[in-house]
Every structure is written in C-alpha cells, then in structure tokens.
Amino acid sequence: MPPDAPLAPAARPSPRRLRAEILIVLGLTLGISAVYSLVAIINRLTREVPLGDQTATLNPSRSERPIFDLIYQLLGVVADLVPVALVVFLLWSTTRPHLGRLGIDGSRPWRDARDGVGLALLIGVPGLFVYLAGRELGLTVTVVPTALDEHWWTVPVLLLAAARAGIVEEVIVVGYLFARLRDLRWGPWAIILTSALLRATYHLYQGFGGFIGNFAMGVLFGWLYTRYGRLLPLVFAHFLIDAAVFVGYAWAAAAWPGLFAPPAP
C-alpha cells in the first residue's frame, strides 16, 4: 500500500467481540460493583443485627492525617474516572460529534443543565420518600453519605465525589451500555430494563429500598435517553442529587436525627 493511501474504515466488531468488550468494561467498573453488592447484601441479611439497624457509609475518611486523607480522596476520584476515559476511547468517532454515540454533542449545554435541574427535582423528592419508607419497614440500611471530618477541602471533595458518581454511572450504564447493546441489536426495552437492573444491583448494598429506588430511576433515565438521546441532563441530575445529599447530610442529620442519623451502637 502506498504510504499516502487512506486507511480502510474499521470493520464493525463481531457480536462475540462486542460481548467480550462489554464484560471487560463492566468487570472493570460497575459490573464488579454489582457482584460486590450482591455479596454485601447476603452478608447483611445473615447477620444477627437486623438490616434496618445497619449502616452504609459512602464517603469514608481514608486517613487520620488530613493531608493524606485529601490525597487519597483525590486519587480515588481520578482512578474511578479512568474507565470513563476507556469507554470514550472505545466509542470515539473521527467525525463530529465525536461523542455522539454516548449521547454527548455539546450543542446546548445550558438547556441540558436546565433539564438536569428539573430531573433532579423530579427524582430527588420521591427518592427521599422511598429511602425513608425503606428504613421504616426495615428494608434499607441507614446510609451515611459522608464520614469525612470538617476541613477546608471537605465540601469540594464531596462535590467531586458527586460529579464522579454522575459521570461514571451515566456514561457507562447509559451511554456506553446502550450503544453497545444496540450494536448487538437488542430492543429498546430490553436495554432499558437491563441497564436499570444493573444500576439497582450495584446499589443493593444499601438494602432493598435502594434497589427499588434505583431501578425506578434507571427505567426513567433509560426511557428519557431512548427518547431524546441526550446524556448530559442525566449526568447533571445525578450530580445535583448526590451533591445535595453529600453536602447537606450533616445538617439534615443534626436537624432530624431520627430520620437521618445512624442508629446508636
């Protein structure tokens, strides 16, 4: 081939290769989290302590020394974003929009942000009631969104953690998984329900209330993505919900200890 000859376009990966790729990506990310979560709920259910009296901490301290706690927190955020870079690499298009297969084109960021705010309000309030109902029924553990001590960097780190959750979960569980399952010629509702089930399963460590609430959220997010094809509103909504929970937890636990504070040992 002459040195200046254009390269032939890459052939579409075979179904076998696509399935292997999906398993590898999920095995590096939220698929393995789902397995850990299944083990965690079995562990919780087989303890002598009732499920409703147990706790799950989302953002624990990593070191007694503040500077090293900060370093570990930042390293954790970076490490979790590497798989996102992987799926961006896998689905990057040489033509614009480069991330079109992930539902990202950057054409209307302010409208996407506005839609994300509305979606966060739509999901956040019912999600809170599902959590409280699960605790009342003993089906949900007490979720402690943060156990970080108060430092100058605590709020910025919690906001980064919320951004990480929104980016990782929506890019992989919606953007990437929908694209690859469409390549395998799955139907829309099969994709929506599979994505929602994965989302619910890796939250199962929180108990059955977390499973139900996240499954419902996954169905709604999947349906919206199928209909409108835009990922950023989902990322914005997820970030806002988690940011409100992470940053507002200390105040809520102090104001309503019976609802949000962990049970006494």
Give the number of domains in the chain: 1
Q: What is the pLDDT of residue 11?
A: 60
Q: What is the pLDDT of residue 2?
A: 44
Tell me which residue range forms the domain holding 67.
17-92+125-260
Instruction: Measure the CA–CA gap between 32 and 143, rounded to whole angstroms.
Output: 21
Report residue 223 as tokens. Answer: 């349906």
Burial of 206 (0-12, 13-18, 19+ CB in 10 A): buried
Please report whether residue 11 resides in a domain.
Answer: no
Instruction: Give the mean model confidence (pLDDT) for residues 1-14.
Output: 53
Q: What is the pLDDT of residue 54?
A: 96
pTM for this prediction? 0.93
Please report whether residue 139 resides in a domain.
Answer: yes
Please report whether residue 148 resides in a domain.
Answer: yes
> What are the tens digits of pLDDT across the range 246-259?
999 988 888 888 77
Instruction: Measure the CA–CA gap between 184 and 245, rounded to whole angstroms.
Output: 37
Please report whether residue 104 resides in a domain.
Answer: no
Q: What is the pLDDT of residue 264?
A: 62
Q: What is the pLDDT of residue 263?
A: 72
More confident residue, 236 or 8: 236
Please report whether residue 109 resides in a domain.
Answer: no
Please report whether residue 53 resides in a domain.
Answer: yes
What lies within 8 Å, CB to CB, of 240 at 6+ separation is 116, 117, 120, 124, 162
> What are the tens digits of pLDDT across the range 9-44?
456 789 999 999 999 999 999 999 999 999 999 999
Q: How distant, in Å, are the alpha carbons of 29, 202, 257 from that of 180?
A: 16, 20, 44
Please report whether residue 214 resides in a domain.
Answer: yes
> What are the tens digits of pLDDT across the range 68-108?
999 999 999 999 999 999 999 999 999 999 999 999 998 99
Straight-line distance from the first to the last Cα atom of the chain, in angstroms, rounded to the nearest whole number: 73
- ∠125-131-137 over CA atoms, to 5°? 135
Q: How far is CA 195 from the centre of its chain?
A: 11
Instruction: Give the mean model confidence (pLDDT) for residues 220-240.
Output: 98
Please report whether residue 31 resides in a domain.
Answer: yes
> What are the tens digits of pLDDT across the range 104-149?
998 999 999 999 999 999 999 999 999 999 999 999 999 999 999 9
